[in-house]
Amino acid sequence: MPLRLHIAIAIAVALWAGRAAAAPPVRVALAPPSTLGAEASAKQARALGAALERALASVPGHAVVGPAAVRRAVARARKPELRTCDGDVACLADLGALLGVDRVVYVEVGGLGDARVLAMQLVDVASRTEVRSITAELTAADVDRSARAAAYRLLAPQRYVGTLQLDVDVPGAAIYVDGTQIGVSPMPPREIAVGSHALRVTHPEYRDFVRFVDIEFDTTTKISVALKAFPIVEDAMRQTGGPSRGAPEAPAAAPTPWYKRWYTLVGASAVVLVGSAIVVGLVTRGVDADRVEIVGD
> d(Cα 66, Cα 54) in Å, to the nearest integer?
9
pTM strictly above 0.95: no
The answer, yes or no, to whether the previous bond of 186 is cis (omega within 30 of 0) is yes
Read off the pLDDT of residues 144-155 as tens digits, 9 standing for 90 and up: 999 999 999 999
Structure confidence at residue 289 (pLDDT): 47
Structure confidence at residue 11 (pLDDT): 62
Read off the pLDDT of residues 230-279 as tens digits, 9 standing for 90 and up: 898 655 555 555 554 444 555 555 566 655 565 666 566 665 666 666 65
DSSP one-letter string for the chain: --HHHHHHHHHHHHHHHHHHHTPPPEEEEEPPPEESSS-S-HHHHHHHHHHHHHHHHTSTTEEEE-HHHHHHHHHHHT-GGGS--TT-HHHHHHHHHHHT-SEEEEEEEE-STT-EEEEEEEEETTTTEEEEEEEEEE-GGGHHHHHHHHHHHHH-GGG-EEEEEEEESSTT-EEEETTEEEEESS---EEEESEEEEEEEEETTEEEEEEEEEE-TT-EEEEEE--TTSB-HHHHHHHHSSPPTTPPPPPPPPPPPGGGSHHHHHHHHHHHHHHHHHHHHHHHHT-PPPP------
Tell me the pLDDT band of 23, cut-offs 50, 70 and 90.
confident
- Give the type of residue at 52: L
Could you tell me the CA-to-CA distances from 96 to 46, 49, 66, 145, 156 in Å, in that order? 21, 17, 12, 27, 19
Cβ atoms within 10 Å, residue 204: 9
Domains annotated for the chain, with CATH where assigned, are 23-159 (3.40.50.10070), 161-238 (2.60.40.10)
Does residue 157 have a pLDDT over 80? yes
Mean pLDDT, the chain, rounded, equals 82
Read off the pLDDT of residues 175-217 as tens digits, 9 standing for 90 and up: 999 999 999 999 999 999 999 999 999 999 999 999 999 999 9
Read off the pLDDT of residues 32-75 as tens digits, 9 standing for 90 and up: 998 865 455 677 778 888 999 999 999 999 999 999 999 999 99
Do 200 and 257 contact (CB within 8 A), yes or no?
no
Structure confidence at residue 256 (pLDDT): 61
Structure confidence at residue 254 (pLDDT): 58
Structure confidence at residue 268 (pLDDT): 63
Does residue 115 have a pLDDT over 70? yes
